[in-house]
Amino acid sequence: MKDFIIPAIDIKDGALVRLKEGKFENVKVYRQNPVEQFKLFVELGFARIHIVDLDGAQLGIPKNLKLLENMLKQKNKAKVEIGGGIRSLQTAKLLFDIGVDYIILGTMAVKNKEEFIRLLELYKNKIILSVDAKNGKVAVGGWEEESSMSPCDMARIYDDYPIESYLYTNINIDGTLTGVDINPYKDFKKCTTKPIIASGGVASLEDVVKLKTVANGVVVGKAIYENKIDIYSL
174 is catalytic: no
Q: Which of 10, 53, 55, 207 is catalytic?
A: 10
Exposed/middle/buried for 215, CB within 10 Å: 0-12, 13-18, 19+? Answer: buried
**Cβ atoms within 10 Å of 124's Cβ, excluding its own:** 11
230 is catalytic: no
Closest CA to 46 of 69, 68, 77, 18: 77
Q: How far is CA 3 from CA 11, 137, 208, 216, in A?
A: 23, 30, 12, 9
Exposed/middle/buried for 155, CB within 10 Å: 0-12, 13-18, 19+? Answer: buried
**3-state DSSP call for residue 120?**
helix
Cα–Cα–Cα angle for 173, 188, 121, nearest 5°? 110
Q: Which of 53, 132, 174, 207 is catalytic?
A: 132
Instruction: Cite the active site residues.
Output: 10, 132
